[in-house]
Amino acid sequence: MSDADLVVYDQLQYASEIDRCRKKIEEIGEKTSSPAMTQEEIISSTKTVVQGLETLRVEHHQVLNGLQASADNDKPGNISTGLVDEKMSLLKKSVDMIELAMGEAQVCWCFASPPTFLTGSSSS
């Protein structure tokens, strides 16, 4: 076989391998074909997540306020004061993470929502 024949043979082998991979991907896609979420489903799910996160954030703030009241009533140097401070620190970190997640969910929500400033009709 000449070098040109080898190149053509290699190209045919490569094309055959690509076709085999493409068919395998299609088979996997058919087996796992869960319907993609619609834009409305994404927006609805994101709203639900944000509402749940808001509820969790409010609950964390209530617990923090209770711990703060407890810390205010404790005498300085008390062992429980250190524990209360540690719990408050952990809750504050948790609230920060919840608020970050809420912000990220709202950004996703904004990206999934159609821009209203573009959908309005022009008055010209």
CA 64 vs CA 20, 91, 103, 121: distances in Å: 59, 7, 21, 48
Q: Is residue 98 part of a domain?
A: yes
- Per the structure, the complete domain to which residue 63 belongs is given by 37-115
Q: How sure is the predictor about 124, in pLDDT bands with cuts at 50, 70 and 90?
A: very low
Give the CA-trace dihedral at 80, 81, 85, 87, to 10 degrees.
Answer: 20
Question: Would you place residue 87 in the very low, low, confident or very high pLDDT band (cuts 50, 70, 90)?
Answer: confident
Question: Helix 39-73 to helix 79-112 angle, to the nearest 10 degrees?
Answer: 160
pLDDT tens by residue, 43-65 = 788 888 888 889 999 999 999 99
Would you call 28 exposed, middle or buried from its count of C-beta atoms within 10 A (0-12, 13-18, 19+)? exposed
Tally of domains within the chain: 2
And the tokens for 36? 């993609």
Domain assignment of residue 84, yes or no = yes
Assess contact for 60 and 91: CB atoms under 8 A.
yes
User: Distance between CA 59 and CA 62 in Å, rounded?
Assistant: 5
Q: Between the CA atoms of 115, 121, 123 and 124, what dihedral angle is there, to the nearest 10 degrees?
A: 90
- What would the pLDDT profile of 21-32 be if each residue is shown by its tens digit? 667 666 666 665
13 and 63, same domain (yes or no):
no
In-domain check, residue 101: yes
Residues 2 and 56 in one domain: no
Question: pTM (2 decimals)?
Answer: 0.58
Amino acid identity for residue 62 in this structure: Q
